[in-house]
Amino acid sequence: DGGITQSPKYLFRKEGQNVTLSCEQNLNHDAMYWYRQDPGQGLRLIYYSQIVNDFQKGDIAEGYSVSREKKESFPLTVTSAQKNPTAFYLCASSLTVNSNQPQHFGDGTRLSIL
């Protein structure tokens, strides 16, 4: 079955610690995205990648970093510089970055601070 796999489902971070969220897709999509979701708010774009070895900042990139070394994988690192990291993180992908290609979403990772 083709889809997007995010792991882990739940993640806990200590103060001052970096953590990495995994996102893997087997849809052969070129574009991948990371969103942050907070209660009562819509999704906000953190980073996106159009192709391998390319990525662009979204609206709220501060305190986050990404890499795109393989087409299938787009991991997100939440650094200690992100002062309010508690949120639900969603990864998405689309065939291309063109706006006529709907985005498909994984099941998310919930990050909490210990």
Partner 1 sequence: AQSVTQPDIHITVSEGASLELRCNYSYGATPYLFWYVQSPGQGLQLLLKYFSGDTLVQGIKGFEAEFKRSQSSFNLRKPSVHWSDAAEYFCAVDRGSGTASKLTFGTGTRLQVTL
* Interacting residue ranges for partner 1, rule: CB under 8 A: 4, 6, 31, 40-45, 48, 50, 90, 92, 94, 97-108, 110
DSSP category for residue 73: B
Cα–Cα distances in angstroms (integers) from residue 21 to residues 35, 51, 62, in the given order: 12, 19, 16
Nearer to partner 1 among residue 71 and residue 104 (C-beta): 104
Cα–Cα distances in angstroms (integers) from residue 57 to residues 65, 67, 107, in the given order: 9, 12, 22
Integer Cα distance of 2 and 6 in angstroms:
13
Residue 37 Cβ, how far from partner 1 at the closest point, in Å? 9
Nearer to partner 1 among residue 41 and residue 84 (C-beta): 41
Nearer to partner 1 among residue 19 and residue 92 (C-beta): 92
Integer Cα distance of 32 and 106 in angstroms:
11
Residue 67 Cβ, how far from partner 1 at the closest point, in Å? 20
Residue 108 Cβ, how far from partner 1 at the closest point, in Å? 5
Nearer to partner 1 among residue 71 and residue 110 (C-beta): 110
